[in-house]
């Protein structure tokens, strides 16, 4: 998923049915929580790791049409990018990584299923001014359903750059599974880089997956580059409050075009709700992860933001 930031300095970070067989387990990556390591050349500290697995029951599979589906997995990791004292004016960052994968009876059967993601929430900037007041603005843009718009979704909508809802679809080729990733052996956790693509090389294992790294990075930069304590000091934050729902459908049950609603969709095989919630508390000087969608996402656009929205929608969305 490609996102465009109008905040230039941070632009580089770029009725659903649950089967009753879902289970959580202690993943071998859990030992990394709280331990600093490097990713992309940056220091990162994992804050939380979540794993969910759905083993598809054989009973009733003929009626459901999923006898060739074995397992669906979901991984989520929240990370913090701490201040690096060696970098003048460095900022505090937060991010979320996500992966959804399926195992089937055969490689060919991977084409029988597609992931579709739904989203609600927003991203916004907040500024603590020298007089202690905090002002906010919507200044992050994204490509959504063929248009460029502010990253503000007040209601649930399909999370797609174009009107093809399948998460693994390639708009140029029309292949709904082109961007489905795979590796041999299958990944044990969310990979830091893009793996092989179904549309470029036929998988050697019957396991495919998609990933999401919502961007840009949530971040706070103090006005004083030498500040060590962020409580109540002037500075600017980029916040996100996103609820996401990744669903697996039989390919035939997911329409090839969408208006953003669930119109035309069949019943999902399984869905998983996850979130990317990183909201800077200017009083406490830390990021929080509140439950639900933040109230900022429900406010109306200001006149300036409305003007920017009209400008964005006039822009031609680039081809993926």
Say how far apart CA 122 and CA 137 lie, in whole Å. 11
Contact 82, 219 (CB under 8 A): no
Domain total for the chain?
Answer: 1
**Residue-range definition of the domain harbouring residue 40:** 3-314
pLDDT of 18: 29
Q: Let me know if residue 58 belongs to a domain.
A: yes
At residue 318, the 3 state secondary structure works out as: coil
Indicate the average pLDDT of the chain.
Answer: 88
R_g of the chain computed on alpha carbons: 20
User: If phi over 0 gives left and psi between -120 and 50 gives alpha, with beta otherwise, what is residue 261?
Assistant: beta
Q: Let me know if residue 254 belongs to a domain.
A: yes
Q: Let me know if residue 319 belongs to a domain.
A: no
70-82 pLDDT, tens digit each: 999 999 999 999 9
DSSP E strands: which ranges in the chain?
3-5, 22-23, 37-39, 42-55, 69-81, 92-104, 113-128, 134-137, 140-144, 147-150, 152-158, 181-182, 196-197, 207-212, 218-222, 235-250, 270-281, 286-288
pLDDT of 265: 97
Mean pLDDT value across residues 254-266: 96
pLDDT of 176: 98
Residue 25 pLDDT > 50 = no
**Does the bond joining 214 to the residue before it have cis omega, within 30 degrees of 0?**
no
Q: Let me know if residue 116 belongs to a domain.
A: yes
pLDDT of 228: 84
62-121 pLDDT, tens digit each: 999 999 999 999 999 999 999 888 887 789 999 999 999 999 999 999 999 999 999 999
Contact 163, 145 (CB under 8 A): yes
Residue 317 pLDDT > 60 = no
pLDDT of 179: 98
Q: Let me know if residue 126 belongs to a domain.
A: yes
pLDDT of 7: 28
208-225 pLDDT, tens digit each: 999 999 999 999 999 998
Q: Against a cut of 0.75, is the pTM above it?
A: yes
Q: Let me know if residue 218 belongs to a domain.
A: yes
Contact 25, 36 (CB under 8 A): no
Q: Let me know if residue 221 belongs to a domain.
A: yes
Q: Let me know if residue 38 belongs to a domain.
A: yes
Residue 22 pLDDT > 60 = no
């Amino acid at each position: 998923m490609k996102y465009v930031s109008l905040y230039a300095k941070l632009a580089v970070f770029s009725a659903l049915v649950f089967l009753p067989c879902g289970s959580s387990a202690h993943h071998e990556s859990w030992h990394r929580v709280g331990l600093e390591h490097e990713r992309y050349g940056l220091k990162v500290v994992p804050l939380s790791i979540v794993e969910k697995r759905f083993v598809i029951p054989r009973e009733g599979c003929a009626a459901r049409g999923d006898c060739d589906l074995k397992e669906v997995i979901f991984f989520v990791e929240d990370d913090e990018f701490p201040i690096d004292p060696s970098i003048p004016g460095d900022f505090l960052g937060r991010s979320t990584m996500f992966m959804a994968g399926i195992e089937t009876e055969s490689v060919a059967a991977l084409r029988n299923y597609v992931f579709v993601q739904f989203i609600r929430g927003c991203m916004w900037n907040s500024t603590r001014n020298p007089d202690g007041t905090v002002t906010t603005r919507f200044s992050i843009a994204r490509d959504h359903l063929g248009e460029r718009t502010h990253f503000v979704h007040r209601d649930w909508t399909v999370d797609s750059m174009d009107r093809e809802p399948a998460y693994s679809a390639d708009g140029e080729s029309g292949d709904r599974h082109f961007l489905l990733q795979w590796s041999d052996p299958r990944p044990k956790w969310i990979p830091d880089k893009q793996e092989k693509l179904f549309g470029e090389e036929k998988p050697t294992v019957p396991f495919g997956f998609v990933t999401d790294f919502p961007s840009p990075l949530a971040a706070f930069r103090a006005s004083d580059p030498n500040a060590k304590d962020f409580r109540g000091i002037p500075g600017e934050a980029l916040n996100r409050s996103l609820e996401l729902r990744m669903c697996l459908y039989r390919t035939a049950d997911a329409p090839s075009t969408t208006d953003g609603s669930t119109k035309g969709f069949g019943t999902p095989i399984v869905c998983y709700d996850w979130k990317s919630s990183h909201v800077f508390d200017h009083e406490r000087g830390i990021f929080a992860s509140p439950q639900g969608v933040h109230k900022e996402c429900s406010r109306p656009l200001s006149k300036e933001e409305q003007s920017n929205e009209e400008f964005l929608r006039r822009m031609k969305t680039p081809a993926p």
